[in-house]
Amino acid sequence: MSRFRVRVSNGSPGPARPACWALVALFVLSIVSPARAQPAPNLWFAGTWLVLERSQTRGGEIAVPTDDPALARFLAHLGATLSYDPAQRYAIVTTADYRTIAFTIGDKRYAVGAVTETAPFAPYVSGGEAYLPFVALAEALYVQPVSQADATVLQPQIASLDVRNEGRVSVVTLHGAATLRFKRLSAGSDGRLSLAFLGTASTLDPYRDVAGDGLRSISISVGGSVRNPTTTVTFQAPPGGLHALMPAGAPNALAVAFAPPGVPLTGTPVPASGVASVAAAGPAPVPTASEQTTGEYAPAGANVPAAEPSTYQAPGYAAPAPPAPASAQPVQVVNFESEQADQGLNVRVWLAGGSVAYEWHRLPDNRWYIDFKNATLAVAPQDETLQNDAVLSLRLKQVTLDPYPVVRVALSLATPRLVNLVPFDGGVTIAVDRLDDLAPAKVGIGTLSAGVLAAATPTDQTVDQTPAPIVEPTPWKFTPVPVVAYAAPNPRLIVIDPGHGGSDTGAMQRGLVEKELTLDISDRLRSLLVARGWLVKMTRDSDVDVFEPNDSAHDELQARCDIANRAGARMFISVHVNSYTSGSLNGTTTYYYKGVDLSLAQAIHSRLIESLGTADRGVRKENFYVIHHTVMPATLVETAFMSNAADAQLLRSPAWRQKVAGAIADGVGDYAGAPPPKSSAPAETSDTDTPVPDR
Amino acid sequence: MRLLRALVVVALFVVAVYYGYRVFAGRPRPVAAATVTVYYCKTDGETLVPWKLTLGPARDRKSVAFYAATQAVAGPSSDIDAIRFPSGTIVHAVDVDGSTAIVDLGGALAKPTAGSFAESAEFKALVWTLTALPGIGSVQVKLDGIRVPTLPGGHFELDEPLSRASF
């Protein structure tokens, strides 16, 4: 009662009460809304302000909503994409080099690939939108925030530099935050190649001793301003050696190979001047043999003509190293040390007594070991449990002594970490990376001599010791397809379907347009088949949409099927040209879907492979619309890959396209024999039934 | 005074709750490790290779399906030769309706496609990944929220749910 009496009688609150209420209100407010809207922080990125429009702060850290337009621009610049669905709890960013950064709503931990990190705050949902820790995200994308007086500069980094010595060739791969743009500063006869990466900083070690035949060392320096840094990477190779850009597998990666004098190297010349992105530098001419022997390629500008960089072959690269003869003096393991590395471990093995053959195995249960053949231990065996995030334990022992001594170094890895072998003058370092190796089971063999590894190609392999069958690659097998008899109402009629057309260009690469190539080949095929007595109907004979201009995919594809189905054709042949996002795939593929398609596809494919000289990608069953929805035997021929330099060169040749048409026509003959006499053809006629001579 | 004391007690209680929330709610809770098997297709277009990924702490059905689909679309790291979805492909959403996972894709995938060879291999890996999850037998692909017969300029048929037997 006294409370009410005080309140009512005084008519105004006592002096302590407003403060209490304010205190309570403040706490309640702080709980209900722990994140506060914040004026956009001054972020400078890629030459301009990055204005986060609806960011908040949590504990002083920037929280950015997943639908912030500035975040979208930031990610797009880095070639990254964000996938988030409010109905579930993950927000996953995929980087340009196919790493994933997985945030979980309500949990501070986030995964960068297989590595778990901790963010300053847990991502949260507010107003139906997920808010992510921006700095943690930026750093995972290899972008380093650097404070300046008036802004925080987001500096894209060259984040890693990997060196592989393969045979006598050294391959250096750099990974950047964004597409790496470089300028070649020098590539003189002294073997020094300097590349300046514009707008990119780096915190990598300034010097790295490679000690390979093709490359001796790498120096890194960072210059320019905070807002516009430049990282210069200088590769010191033997005078007269060769260097070339190699396919790096991702737009934010750059791979340069170095070969010593006398070792051929096939790749893409590094542009001599100007600024070229990796993407622009990729399709450059392959140097000729004479260029290769000079040790220097002709200068090329930024706008290099399209051609495919092909893989190099260094002598002995793919050849497994033979084991040391049993009669040779054994090599000795004279020292053995392990040391912490950046989120990994380096195990250094010192060897004395000459070259040694080795064989390493990655097992699916995260064990990794290397055997040094014809080697003996000159130090005590070790069996050590480690306090290390990457490696749980480490063992060194003499596996066998007589008649053939083998020393083994075995690691129990915490996760399937990538393990690299890096030679040094006195032996080899087994470098356990912070990244995981996704290939679950591998084997590699090679020799180590005077600080140089001659490695054979690691191969995915099922290993005897494998306890987990799940990791074995699963070969795909098709189930048998029932053959349903088809009696063609019009047994002399063949429908040819030139793939794409009109508003649908099909693939376009290297100056080639699929719809034009398919029409050209189909025209040639029509002529050949007509000359051999067949009636032929084309789904299109000019550059048009078959159903109607700008029609839907369904209407367009169904219209092509309808033409063949209504005409009661004996068979349906769809002509296409394949492509892929890189030049790595090539060859000819022939597809079928229904049981009745198979013999036709096989007959045509055999002739194609026999006459074209392309790689054989086989006869495959796929649920492609036009061979599914046609009732007669149907096949879809992917003649070659326009994305591959060699295949594209073939596709450009009219003579080769004529060969394609000839092979398909021969395959039709193998499948169906001669066309039936004209009397067996019903009233349905083709648009072309006049025999024309072969071109 | 009693009112003041009561308010102080309430305030202290609120403070305790608030700091308890700040200290414990944001702290990762230990979660038993769980993995999903994600597949990628080698460049031969045939061989599917499984690899295991550790899940984050969200283990509800939709979250797991979304996680697996996004990882399958991303593919393995760049040093592994694999047939990949076009760079820039986005997983908008993954819903689960009975035994069918409905995957809504977009981004670069909605642009005119690459060739047929990659197309079927991409979906093969996605379908195998999602059908490796308990209770999922088929996958319906949508493009920017719409069921489509094929990708734009594409070949592979997408208008019906895909299962492992579709390939």
CB-CB under 8 Å, B116 with A624: yes
If we measure between CA atoms, which residue out of A165, A172, A114 comes closest to residue A433? Answer: A114
Q: Is A115 exposed, middle or buried (0-12, 13-18, 19+ CB in 10 A)?
A: middle
Q: Please compute Rg for chain B using Cα positions.
A: 22
Average pLDDT over residues A221-244: 90
pLDDT score of A153 more than 90: yes
More confident residue, A200 or A270: A200
CA torsion A517-A520-A523-A529 (nearest 10°) is -70
Residues of B in contact with A90 (CB under 8 A): 56, 58, 63, 66-67, 70
Choose among B26, B107, B149: nearest Cβ to A625. Answer: B149
B127 touches chain A (CB under 8 A): no
Residues B79, B18 share a domain: no
Strands (E), chain B: 35-41, 48-54, 89-97, 100-107, 138-143, 146-147
% residues pLDDT > 70 (chain A): 76
Q: Is residue A427 part of a domain?
A: yes
The residue among B38, B77, B97, B131 with the most chain A CBs within 10 A of its CB, best to mutate, is B77
Average pLDDT over residues A201-221: 90
pLDDT at A598: 93
Q: Is A417 exposed, middle or buried (0-12, 13-18, 19+ CB in 10 A)?
A: buried
Question: In Å, how far is B134's CA from the nearest CA of chain A?
Answer: 16
Q: Are B108 and B87 in contact (CB under 8 A)?
A: yes
pLDDT at B113: 65
Tell me which chain B residue has its CA closest to the CA of residue A506.
Answer: B153
User: What is d(CA B75, CA B121) in angstroms, rounded to the nearest whole number?
Assistant: 12
Number of domains in chain B: 2
Q: Number of helices (H) and strands (E), helices first, in chain B?
A: 3, 6
Beta pairing class for A229-236 and A152-156: unpaired
* Residues forming a β-bridge with A384: A394
Question: How far is the CA of B60 from the CAs of A107, B96, B134, in angstroms?
Answer: 15, 11, 12
Q: Where are the alpha helices (DSSP H) in B24-153?
A: 61-74, 116-131
Choose among B11, B80, B95: nearest Cβ to A23. Answer: B11
pLDDT score of A479 more than 90: no
Q: Are A375 and A356 in contact (CB under 8 A)?
A: yes
Residues B130, B106 share a domain: yes
Cα B133–Cα B136–Cα B140 angle in degrees, nearest 5? 120
pLDDT at B133: 94
Question: How far is the CA of A435 from the CAs of A139, A431, A462, B68, B77, in angstroms?
Answer: 16, 11, 22, 20, 10
Residues B86, B12 share a domain: no
pLDDT score of A523 more than 90: yes
Residues B161, B115 share a domain: yes
Size of the A and B interface in Cβ pairs below 8 Å: 256
Q: Is residue A320 part of a domain?
A: no
Residues B156, B91 share a domain: yes
Q: How confident is residue A289, by pLDDT bands cut at 50, 70 and 90?
A: very low
Residues of A in contact with B85 (CB under 8 A): none
- SS3 per-residue string spanning A566-616: HHCEEEEEEEEEECCCCCCCCCEEEEECCHHHHHHHHHHHHHHHHHHCCCE
Tell me which chain A residue has its CA closest to the CA of residue B117.
Answer: A578
pLDDT score of A526 more than 90: yes
pLDDT score of A110 more than 60: yes
pLDDT at A608: 96
The residue among A23, A81, A558, A639 with the most chain B CBs within 10 A of its CB, best to mutate, is A81
Copy the structure tokens of residue A535.
Answer: 């009636």
Residues A495, A569 share a domain: yes
Residues A255, A134 share a domain: no
CB-CB under 8 Å, A478 with B156: no
pLDDT at A337: 87
pLDDT at A8: 30
Q: Are A274 and A182 in contact (CB under 8 A)?
A: no
Residues A672, A545 share a domain: yes
Please, what is the end-to-end C-alpha distance for chain A in angstroms? Answer: 111
Cis amide linkage into residue A403, ω under 30° from 0: yes
The length of chain B is: 167
Residues B140, B58 share a domain: yes
User: What is d(CA A278, CA A198) in angstroms, rounded to the nearest whole number?
Assistant: 12
Average pLDDT over residues B105-130: 88
Place of tokens 């006294």: A2
Tell me which residue range forms the domain holding A144: 37-153
Between positions 82 and 111 of B, the ones with CB within 8 A of A are 83-84, 86-95, 107
Tell me which chain B residue has its CA closest to the CA of residue A474.
Answer: B48
pLDDT score of A320 more than 70: no
Number of domains in chain A: 5
pLDDT score of A286 more than 60: no
Q: Domain ends where: A115, A133, A153?
A: A153
Q: Are A428 and A419 in contact (CB under 8 A)?
A: no
pLDDT at A73: 92
Residues A173, A89 share a domain: no
CB-CB under 8 Å, A114 with B156: no
More confident residue, A682 or A149: A149
The residue among A17, A89, A619 with the most chain B CBs within 10 A of its CB, best to mutate, is A89
User: What is d(CA A205, CA A329) in angstroms, rounded to the nearest whole number?
Assistant: 39
Q: What is the CATH number of the domain that holds A86?
A: 3.30.457.10
Residues of A in contact with B144 (CB under 8 A): none
Residues B45, B10 share a domain: no
Residues A86, A7 share a domain: no
Q: Are B64 and B55 in contact (CB under 8 A)?
A: yes
pLDDT tens, A612-647? 989 998 998 888 999 999 999 999 999 999 988 899
CB-CB under 8 Å, A460 with B115: no
pLDDT tens, A139-148? 999 999 998 8
Can you tell me the ipTM of this complex? 0.81
CB-CB under 8 Å, A626 with B56: no
Interior/surface letters A476-511, b for 16+ CB within 10 angstroms, e for the rest: beeeeeeeeeeebebbbbbbbbbbbbbebebbebbe
pLDDT score of A15 more than 70: no
Q: Are A119 and A111 in contact (CB under 8 A)?
A: no
Residues A171, A118 share a domain: no
Q: What single letter denotes the amino acid at residue A595?
A: G
Residues A339, A267 share a domain: no
Tell me which chain A residue has its CA closest to the CA of residue B25.
Answer: A106
Tell me which chain A residue has its CA closest to the CA of residue B75.
Answer: A98
Tell me which chain B residue has its CA closest to the CA of residue A503.
Answer: B153
CB-CB under 8 Å, B58 with A27: no
Choose among A98, A470, A505: nearest Cβ to B112. Answer: A505
Residues of B in contact with A98 (CB under 8 A): 74-78, 84, 87
B63 touches chain A (CB under 8 A): yes
Q: How confident is residue A104, by pLDDT bands cut at 50, 70 and 90?
A: very high
Residues A285, A165 share a domain: yes
pLDDT score of A82 more than 90: yes
Question: In Å, how far is B40's CA from the nearest CA of chain A?
Answer: 10
Q: Is residue A346 part of a domain?
A: yes
Residues A165, A74 share a domain: no
Residues of A in contact with B165 (CB under 8 A): 479
pLDDT at A124: 95
Q: Are A257 and A244 in contact (CB under 8 A)?
A: yes
Choose among A16, A92, A591: nearest Cβ to B70. Answer: A92
Q: What single letter denotes the amino acid at residue A382?
A: Q
Residues A452, A397 share a domain: yes
Residues A517, A437 share a domain: no
CB-CB under 8 Å, A576 with B115: yes
More confident residue, A340 or A529: A529
Residues B41, B25 share a domain: no
More confident residue, A225 or A467: A225
Choose among A17, A100, A585: nearest Cβ to B74. Answer: A100
Interior/surface letters A185-214, b for 16+ CB within 10 angstroms, e for the rest: eebeeebbbbbbbebbbbebeeebebbbbb
Residues B153, B90 share a domain: yes
pLDDT score of A59 more than 80: yes
CB-CB under 8 Å, B67 with A90: yes
Tell me which residue range forms the domain holding B52: 35-166
Q: How confident is residue A272, by pLDDT bands cut at 50, 70 and 90?
A: low
Choose among A14, A104, A440: nearest Cβ to B57. Answer: A104
More confident residue, A313 or B95: B95
Q: How confident is residue A452, by pLDDT bands cut at 50, 70 and 90?
A: low
pLDDT score of A416 more than 90: no
CB-CB under 8 Å, B87 with A471: no
Average pLDDT over residues A9-17: 43
Choose among A87, A122, A554: nearest Cβ to B149. Answer: A554
User: What is d(CA A73, CA A340) in angstroms, rounded to the nearest whole number?
Assistant: 38
Task: Please state, rounded to an integer, the average pLDDT across all residues of chain A.
Answer: 78
Choose among B28, B65, B152: nearest Cβ to A553. Answer: B152
Interior/surface letters A233-265, b for 16+ CB within 10 angstroms, e for the rest: bbbbbbeebbbbbbbbbbbbbbbbbbbbeebeb
Q: What is the CATH number of the domain that holds A431?
A: 2.60.40.3500
Tell me which chain A residue has its CA closest to the CA of residue B122.
Answer: A580
Q: Is residue A652 part of a domain?
A: yes
Residues B95, B60 share a domain: yes
Q: Please compute Rg for chain A using Cα positions.
A: 33
Residues B110, B161 share a domain: yes
If we measure between CA atoms, which residue out of B133, B36, B125, B39 comes closest to residue A472? Answer: B39
Residues of A in contact with B120 (CB under 8 A): 620, 622-624
Q: Of A21-30, A234-243, A394-403, give the range with the top mean pLDDT.
A: A234-243
More confident residue, A467 or A599: A599
Choose among A438, A507, A585: nearest Cβ to B77. Answer: A438
CA A645 to chain CA mean position, Å: 18
pLDDT tens, A360-380? 877 767 888 898 888 888 888
CA A565 to chain CA mean position, Å: 41
CB-CB under 8 Å, B148 with A438: no
Residues A433, A549 share a domain: no
Q: Domain ends where: A269, A294, A319?
A: A294
Q: What single letter denotes the amino acid at residue A482?
A: P
% residues pLDDT > 90 (chain A): 37
Question: In Å, how far is B74's CA from the nearest CA of chain A?
Answer: 5
Q: How confident is residue B114, by pLDDT bands cut at 50, 70 and 90?
A: low
Q: Is residue A325 part of a domain?
A: no
CB-CB under 8 Å, B3 with A507: no
Please, what is the end-to-end C-alpha distance for chain B in angstroms? Answer: 79
pLDDT tens, B26-74? 444 444 458 899 999 998 888 899 988 888 889 999 999 999 999 999 9
CB-CB under 8 Å, B155 with A626: yes
Question: In Å, how far is A96's CA from the nearest CA of chain B?
Answer: 7
Residues of A in contact with B73 (CB under 8 A): 83, 94
CB-CB under 8 Å, B78 with A253: yes
Low-confidence winner among A63-72, A371-380, A515-524, B14-23 (lowest mean pLDDT): B14-23
CA A172 to chain CA mean position, Å: 17
User: What is d(CA A418, CA A432) in angstroms, rounded to the nearest whole number?
Assistant: 6
